[in-house]
Structure 1
Amino acid sequence: AGKLLISRPHPPHGIHHESLFIFDLELPNHLIPVNHDGEVSGFIQLDLAEAAARILADEFTTDAALVTADFILRRNRIA
């Protein structure tokens, strides 16, 4: 769906530059995601308004917040 380029401070090394590649993937309702690499603590389903509220409450990592906000903006749906 796209790519986000972000730069943020990374003391003491300076600035960290990162490319986030974004893919939209619709999953079947019966699929239960399983974490295999330890990078997430779990999976929950949120509607877009709840996702936006959790972003504003700082409950997402920076990368997850940016990708989720991008999805919400592209869908232009906040209830």
Structure 2
Amino acid sequence: MKAHVYVTLKRTVLDPQGQTIQNALRKMQYQGVKDVRQGKYFVLELDGSLDAAAAKAEVERIAKDVLTNPVIEEFTYKLEEGA
């Protein structure tokens, strides 16, 4: 099983890198992009000893304790079976 974890700045936190990318896209005449938020992406390969509920709990714990700064970041994740 694999866990795909996406970490981004909270909406209330200024994202200067995202704004720079958005400005560059506008200057390059790309259209239809309303907002850009940058972040981090992690793939955790789980060893198979965890059932789905335990895997979910463990990924959430890792994301909260290790992968994010809870003051300024938030995360989402997706579990992929059979990987």
Greater helix share, 1 or 2?
A: 2
Structure 1 length-normalised TM: 0.29
User: Going by fraction, where is strand more abundant, 1 or 2?
Assistant: 2
Which of the pair has the greater relative contact order for Cα pairs under 8 Å at 6+ separation?
2
